[in-house]
Structures are given as C-alpha cells and as structure tokens.
Amino acid sequence: MPTRPSTAVLILLAAGLSGAAGRAVAEPPVTREAACSWAAEPPKLDGKLDDACWRDAKPITDFAAFWLGEPRSGAKALLAWDDQALYYAAEMADAELRAYGSERNDHLWEGDVFEMFFKPREDKPAYYEFQANPRGVVFEVAFARRGSLGHTFREEPILGNKAVVALKGTLDRPGDVDEGWAVEGRIPWSAFAPTGGKPQAGDAWKFALCRYDHGPEGTKPVLMSSAPLSMPSFHRYEDYGTIRFEAKP
C-alpha cells in the first residue's frame, strides 16, 4: 500500500504547482502607456541623440514578441513634440547591420528597420506608418483604413518624414560583427492632417514602435514591438499601447 504524503510534502508540491502556474501566465514586458515629452528646442538631426529634448524624454525600453510570450531586448526609443512636429529617436543593438531599399517607400522591412505606428482617433479607421532604415531611407503612409491601398507604396504622397542615422559597424558586410545603429527623425504635423493634425496637450493616441532585426543571410528576422500584439501583425491597432502628449513645463 502506498504511504500517504506528509503535510510538508503537500505544501512543497502546492508551492511548486503555484510557481509553475505563475510562470505560465507571466507576460513579457511591453509598453502599454508612454509619454511624449514637450521639446523646448527641436533636436538637431544628426543621429547622436545628445539634444536636451532627448535628455528630458522618457525612454521606451519594453519591447517583446508578445504573441510568443517572449521579451525582446536591445532597443530604446524616445518621442518628443512641439508646435511644428513629432520627433523620434531610437538606439538599437545589432550584430549584423543589413538594409534593404534605397528609395522612399521601398519595402524597407526586408532589411533592418525601425517602424512607428500612430492611430490618433479610435472612432475612425485611419492610422499612420512611418519607418527608417540604416541607410536613412524612409517609409511614410497615411492609411485611410487597414488593408490594401490598391496601388504601390511609392505612389503615396510625401508626408515629410525625415531621418538621419548613425552606424556602429559596417552596413551590408556579412561576416563582421557590428554593434548597432541609431536613428533620429522628424514628422511634421501636416502628415496627420486626415485626423486633425497636431494634438493638444493631454491628448492620447494609440501607438506601437516596432523593429525588424535581420541576421545573417538565410535566417529569419527577429520581430519586436512595444505594444502587446496578440499576433505578429504590426498593423493590429486594437492591441496598441497609449501615448499621451505632455504639456509645456
């Protein structure tokens, strides 16, 4: 006849099961809420990220492949604004610097790329996508709604996204070991005209900051997003986090 386990054994077993259950439901860190700081002076776009507005900004560092339940490290992003534009910056660790595309609105995601999605209004389907790659090439589209545009991305109107990058390593040179890259950019409020343009202090938008990190040839890119995306689609704005525009200090 098997012996009955002691009370101490039962307690240990219960603790182990509780711990396992806790680990099973633990979520990777993501950015559900963030702040866009006021820029007393606009940044100088040189990729150095040493401007006063970036020192005052609140860094966004929580990225994940939330749909897989996996954290993703190696990225820090910053957002700031003033009456003229939305400013963005990011620093990304990257051991294999690769870029795809040389013209505006190329398929930049086929190489390393930093992507931003903004949805100013939840009562309308319109949203925006902006990108920059390690060559400083940009992507910019104002989507009236999610889905096919019915024409090529290059036919989309110019919105004014401007980016400058700084590389720590050599671009598109397989076999060497790189450190990473930084991007600094500006988007004029005119780009957001379909949804009202410049926000007011205290306004909140839905947003997601995303990244494709390509490794050696033949490997799959590592995807990450600041938002808790339930599936690997950066256009799933239902899952986006919220960013609030801070007032002038």
Task: Name 180's bridge partners.
Answer: 93, 168
Note whether residue 20 is domain-resident.
Answer: no
- How many domains in the chain? 1
Note whether residue 14 is domain-resident.
Answer: no
Which residues span the domain enclosing 223? 27-245
Indicate which CATH number applies to the domain containing 148. Answer: 2.60.40.1190
Mean pLDDT over 199-205 rounds to 98
Note whether residue 18 is domain-resident.
Answer: no
- Residues 116 and 131: their CA atoms lie apart, in Å, by 6
Residue 13 has pLDDT above 80, yes or no: no
CA 40 to chain CA centroid, nearest Å: 24
H, E, C per residue of the chain: CCCCCCHHHHHHHHHHHHHHHHHHHCCCCCCCEEEEEECCCCCCCCCCCCCHHHHHCCCECCEEEHHHCEEECCEEEEEEECCCEEEEEEEEECCCCCCCCCCCCCCHHHCCEEEEEEECCCCCCCEEEEEECCCCCEEEEEECCCCCCCCCHHHCCCCCCEEEEEEECCCCCCCCCCCEEEEEEEEEHHHHHHHCCCCCCCCEEEEEEEEEECCCCCCCCEEEECCCCCCCCCCCHHHCEEEEECCCC
Note whether residue 114 is domain-resident.
Answer: yes
| pLDDT confidence tier of residue 189, bands split at 50, 70 and 90 | very high
User: What rounded mean pLDDT belongs to the chain?
Assistant: 91
Note whether residue 10 is domain-resident.
Answer: no
| pLDDT confidence tier of residue 175, bands split at 50, 70 and 90 | confident
249: closest CA among 38, 35, 36, 86? Answer: 38
Residue 85 has pLDDT above 70, yes or no: yes
- Residues 137 and 165: their CA atoms lie apart, in Å, by 9
Note whether residue 21 is domain-resident.
Answer: no
91: which 2 tokens?
A: 């620093």
146: closest CA among 35, 243, 235? Answer: 235
Mean pLDDT over 199-226 rounds to 97
pLDDT in tens, 17-33: 344 444 456 899 999 99
133: which 2 tokens?
A: 């790659």
8 Å CB contact between 112 and 168: no
Residue 108 has pLDDT above 70, yes or no: yes
Note whether residue 8 is domain-resident.
Answer: no
| pLDDT confidence tier of residue 16, bands split at 50, 70 and 90 | very low
Task: Name 129's bridge partners.
Answer: 117, 141
**pTM of structure:** 0.89
Note whether residue 145 is domain-resident.
Answer: yes
Cβ-in-10-Å burial (0-12, 13-18, 19+) of 147 comes to exposed
Mean pLDDT over 183-193 rounds to 98
- Residues 49 and 184: their CA atoms lie apart, in Å, by 7
- Residues 173 and 96: their CA atoms lie apart, in Å, by 8
Residue 6 has pLDDT above 80, yes or no: no
